[in-house]
Amino acid sequence: MAVTVLLFASWADALGSRLTLDLPPDARVRDVLRTLDERAGGAGLPTPMVAVNQRYARPDTPVRESDEIAIIPPVAGG
Amino acid sequence: MRTAIVDRVLDPTALLAEVASPDSGASTLFVGTVRRLHEGREVTGIDYSAYRPMAERELADVVAEACERYGTAHLVVEHRLGTLGLGEASIVIAVSHARRASAMGAQKFVIEQVKARVPIWKREHYADGSREWVDPTRAAVSDADAAGIP
C-alpha cells in the first residue's frame, strides 16, 4: 500500500517535507521508521516520534493507507 | 481558557488582561524570549515552525489538562511562529487563580508540557551565518540543570 508521510525540521531537510512509501498492508509505525532510516542512510538525524492522524503513536501502532503519518523530530517549542 | 498559534507579534499585557478576574488572587505571566547565547554560540535569531494542526490540538490539550489539574479557567497561551529576533517573545502564558501556588503551578505545567510534546521546532541562526535545528534531547545544559533542579 502507498502511505504518505509528512516530515519536519531536520528530517524534512534530509528527505523532503512529504514522501510516499510503499509498505506491506500489515505495516506498523516501526516499519515506517525502518524504511525512513534506510533512506536517510546514516545522516545522523535525531530519533523521531511518530504521529498517526495527529496523535503520538507507538512502534506497534498499525498504519493504513488513509492515515496521516508524521515524523516528529525532538520538539523545541517555548 | 484559550490557545493560539500565531504568525504575529505577541502582546503579553493583553493576555494578562484577558485572564483577569475578580475571583483571582494572583496572576502570573510567563514570556519566553529569544536569547543571545545558546551553548556558548552567539544567536542572531530563531525560525519557529510547527506541524500546525497537531500543534494547535496538543497545545489546547495541555491547557485543558492544566485547567483541570489546577482548577482554573483563566489560562491563555499564545505561541508565535516565523522568524524572531533577539528579545522577541515566542510564547506567552497568562494564568490567574484564586491562589498564587496554583497559578504558578499551572504556568510551570504548561511550559514544561509545551516543551515536551507540542510539535514546534526552532532553527537558530548564528553570528557566523550558520543555522541549526535545536535538539533539546542533545542539549548539554537544560534549564532544569541550570537552575540546579535534579
pLDDT in tens, B70-85: 999 999 999 999 999 9
Could you identify the residue written with the cell 517555548?
Answer: A78
The CATH class for the domain spanning A2-72 reads alpha beta
Residue numbers of the domain that contains B64: 2-38+45-135
Chain B residues in contact with A71 by the CB 8 A cut-off are: none
pLDDT for position A42: 75
Beta strands B75-80; B2-6: pairing state: parallel
ipTM above 0.90, yes or no: yes
**How many separate domains does chain B show?**
1
B111 inside domain: yes
Dist CA B118 CA A44 (whole Å):
23
Amino acid at B72: T
- Check which CATH number belongs to the domain holding B95 and give it: 3.90.1170.40
* Lowest-pLDDT choice from A5-9, A43-47, A51-55: A43-47
Residue B127 — very low, low, confident or very high, per pLDDT cuts 50/70/90? very high
Q: Which residues of A touch B (CB under 8 A)?
A: 6, 8-10, 13, 46-47, 51, 54-56, 70, 72-78
The pLDDT tens digits for B33-66 are: 999 998 889 999 999 999 999 999 999 999 999 9
State the average pLDDT for chain B.
94
pLDDT greater than 90 at residue B139 = no
Interacting residues of B48 by C-beta distance below 8 A, sequence separation 6+: A77, B79, B80, B81, B82, B83, B84, B90, B120, B121, B122
Whether residues A76 and B138 touch (CB distance < 8 A) is answered with: no
pLDDT greater than 80 at residue B142 = no
Q: Which residues of B touch A (CB under 8 A)?
A: 32, 48-51, 53-55, 57, 79, 90-91, 111, 114-123, 133-138
Chain B residues in contact with A55 by the CB 8 A cut-off are: 54
- Residue-range domain boundaries for chain A: 2-72
Residues in a beta bridge with B27: B96
pLDDT greater than 70 at residue B146 = no
